[in-house]
Amino acid sequence: MPQKRPTTYHVVKPGDPHPQGWKVPPVNDLRSAVELLKTIPGQYIETDREVDPDAELAGVYRYIGAGGTVMRPTRIGPAMTFNNVKGYPGFRVLVGLMASRERVAHLLGASTREIGIHMAEARRNVTPPVVVEAENAPCQEVIYRAEDEGFDLRKILPAPTNTPEDAGPFFCLGLVLGSDPDDRDNVDVTIHRLCVQGKDELSIFFAPGRHIDTFRKKAEAAGKPLAISINMGLDPAIHIGAEFEAPTTPFGFDELCVAGGLRGKPVELVECLTVPQWAIARAEVVIEGEILPNVRVQEDQHTKTGKAMPEFPGYNGDANPSLPLIKVKAITTRKNPILQTLVGPGEEHVSLAGIPTEASIHIECQDALPGLVQNVYAHSSGGGKFLAVLQVKKRNDSDDGMTKQAALIALAVYRELKNVILVDEDVDLFDTNDVLWAMQTRFSGDLDTIFVPGVTGHVLDPSQTPLYDPRVTAKGTTTKTIYDATVPYHLKDHFVRAQFMEVDPSLWAPSLFDKGDE
């Protein structure tokens, strides 16, 4: 399948050794990911106790391991499979697969502190997907066609609700695969919120600028539906790779190539049964359908709650009054399938959105300012999107200005980023207390703050509205801020942290120190 991509990136062909020499974990689908986690203490649990997918399941996991911006109390904990889902015998629901940076590191074969750099290298060394025959596609082991008598996706798939206020049941980790109506090989994959609206209908919400929405608009202008597949229960490399955005993955780039780069082998696709589109061959569940032209529905038309679902900033988003409608043509699954979901504001969103954010910023800063930016962390408090901490190592006086330039590059490369904190190499960017320490001792508000007003941000931030800020004319517009908590180069000798003796503490307290990779 031909893929359009910048020529500056290396394409890894099937059978080639992994260009980075990575020890790739034995994961090629959701089931192998779960099997890997079972071998790592504290990373996975199951329960046979019955759970209601309507608000109860998310309510349970909020306490077990959701983390992120979920209302406290919460924590980062293990991924969890519910084996007994009320009303859906034979179906399992998995939540929280990626709700831990440590867990994602295991699943991708990376260090917890360098996952973003790992992702950046995967973006530089891509592997395009391949198409396999149906007999090699476990996603089509069980088939439900919409034309069959009694077809009702509400009875087939246990779509959860996160809270009692949700507009309806949602598929929260549905990877939508679509193509340019005039060029099927121009493929895009993104995750969108999908609300169940009827026995064969789903609404879909597009944040501004999504490439599949561009395809939809093009098809709609021609009066045609857009064929898509919705893929659920996947190798986590596919989900995370799909979260890259322009300009790191420009229009015409298939993000499945990044998952291939992570694994050193191609993602396998299969021809859908009822629409002219591909599906992820090793998915647990695939919904085949079409986005209908010139049809819109109210997101909460059945519940009238006025709310959509809990979004990543931690608030219940407003129900959208007019969303495109998907007409479902078929559902295919593996035998004894696993439906994968997430808690909207949880740490899983941080992993999904934040790690590609880190990688995007790292790629561009390394290309523009080699050696300055040491690492990037897309902080949990911003859902992996709003706040980035950049760790820099200044080498001369000119790097005082270059450090601020790095922050501007970060804002340019990821448009949804709202705030950037700059810290020195002696500050642990993953330790919020250490970052705040730098802000208290290496930052003066009127001297070290840069404001960039009136810039596009994210429509789901409730502070980015004319109601909150009368100066902005459109929702999703904000003032972006750079906080420079670094020491001026000429003063570095005056800001040396107290130096302690280097020892091996495990000799005195062996039970407290894990010798594993951090």
Rounded to whole angstroms, the Cα distance separating 344 from 358 reads 20
Q: How many other C-beta atoms lie within 10 A of the C-beta of residue 194?
A: 23
Distance, in Å, from the CA atom of 95 to the CA atom of 351, rounded to the nearest integer, reads 13
- Residue 241 contacts residue 316 (beta carbons within 8 Å): no
Q: Look-up: residue for tokens 């800020």?
A: 469
| Catalytic site includes residue 311 | yes
Q: ∠ CA(427), CA(430), CA(433), 5° rounding?
A: 65
Cβ neighbors of 509 (< 8 A, separation 6 or more) are none
What is the residue type of 375? N
Give first-to-last CA distance, the chain, whole Å. 38
CA distance 511 to 333: 44
Q: Which of 121, 245, 311, 347 is catalytic?
A: 311
Q: Taking the CB of residue 36, how many other CB atoms lie within 10 A of it?
A: 18
121 CB-near residues (< 8 Å, 6+ apart): 20, 261
Tell me how far apart the alpha carbons of residues 9 and 215 are, in angstroms, rounded to a whole number.
Answer: 25
CA 517 from chain centre, in angstroms, equals: 23
Question: 56 — alpha (psi -120 to 50), left (phi > 0) or beta?
Answer: alpha
Distances (CA, A) of 421 to 82, 403, 408, 485: 39, 11, 11, 7
Distance CA 83, CA 94 (A): 9
Please give the positions annotated as active site: 311
